[in-house]
Homo-oligomer: A and B are copies of this chain.
Amino acid sequence: MSVQERKERERAGRERLILATARELAEQQGWDAVTTRRLAERIEYSQPVLYSHFRGKREIIGAVALQGAAEMAVELRAAASAAKGPHARATALARAYLDFAERNPAVYDAMFQLDGGLAFAQEDTPAPMKDAFAALLENLDAVAGEGVQPGLFTEVFWASLHGLATLTRAGRLPPADAERRTRLLVDRLAVV
C-alpha cells in the first residue's frame, strides 16, 4: 500500500507543480506564453505528461481559475470583516475585488476572460466560483435596498466591478482615476 500511496503523493505534487508553474508563467509573460512545450520544459517533464494530469490546456486554465476563485473568496471576506457598517463593507469589498484583479491579472483572466471549460450560472457551477459569489452576496444584501433581490443586486455590483477591472487593465480607462470611479460606483449602487 505504501508504495501506491507514495506514487499518488508524487503525482499530486507534480500536479501542483504544473499549476504553480502555469500560473507563474502566465503572470510573468501572459497566457499566450503558456504553451504546452514551455510548460513541460519548466517542470522538466515531456509534453505528454501534462495530458496525463489534464485533458488539455483549457483544463489547466480552468484549474488555475478555481484556485483563484478560492483565494479571492478569502480576500473578499477578510476585507469585508475588517470594515464597520454596511456601506464601508461594500466599499472594502469593491476595493478588494479590484485589488485582486490588479495583483493577479493572469488568474483573473483565467477566471473570467479565458475559456477554462467551466460551467456557469447553472447548478453545475464549480463550488469555488459559487463561494466567491457568495462572499460578495453575504456582504452586500444590507445595501441592496428594499424590494431588490440581493442576488440580482450582487450580480449588478459584480458585473460593474468586472467591467472596471477589465477595462482598466486593458488600458481603456485612465488608471489615475481608479479610486474615484470605485467610490462613485459604490456610492451610487449601495443604498445607505
User: CB < 8 Å: which of B112, B173, B177, B189 contacts A170?
Assistant: B112
Question: What residue of chain B has the Cβ atom nearest to residue A113's Cβ?
Answer: B113
Residues of A at under 8 Å CB distance from B? Answer: 112-113, 119-121, 148, 152-153, 155-156, 158-164, 166-167, 170-174, 177, 180-181, 184-185, 188-189
User: CB < 8 Å: which of B162, B171, B174, B189 contacts A163?
Assistant: B162
The answer to whether A159 touches B167, judged by C-beta atoms less than 8 angstroms apart, is yes
The answer to whether A120 touches B189, judged by C-beta atoms less than 8 angstroms apart, is no
Known contacts being A184-B156, A189-B189, is A166 close to B173, with CB within 8 Å? no
The answer to whether A159 touches B163, judged by C-beta atoms less than 8 angstroms apart, is yes
Instruction: Kindly list chain B residues whose C-beta atoms are within 8 Å of the C-beta of A181.
Output: 152, 155-156, 159
Q: Closest Cβ of chain B: how far from A46's Cβ, in Å?
A: 27
A-B contacts, 20 of them at CB < 8 A, read A112-B167, A120-B170, A121-B171, A121-B174, A148-B184, A152-B180, A152-B184, A155-B173, A155-B181, A156-B164, A158-B167, A159-B160, A159-B164, A159-B167, A160-B164, A161-B163, A163-B163, A163-B166, A166-B166, A188-B189
User: CB < 8 Å: which of B121, B160, B174, B180 contacts A172?
Assistant: B121
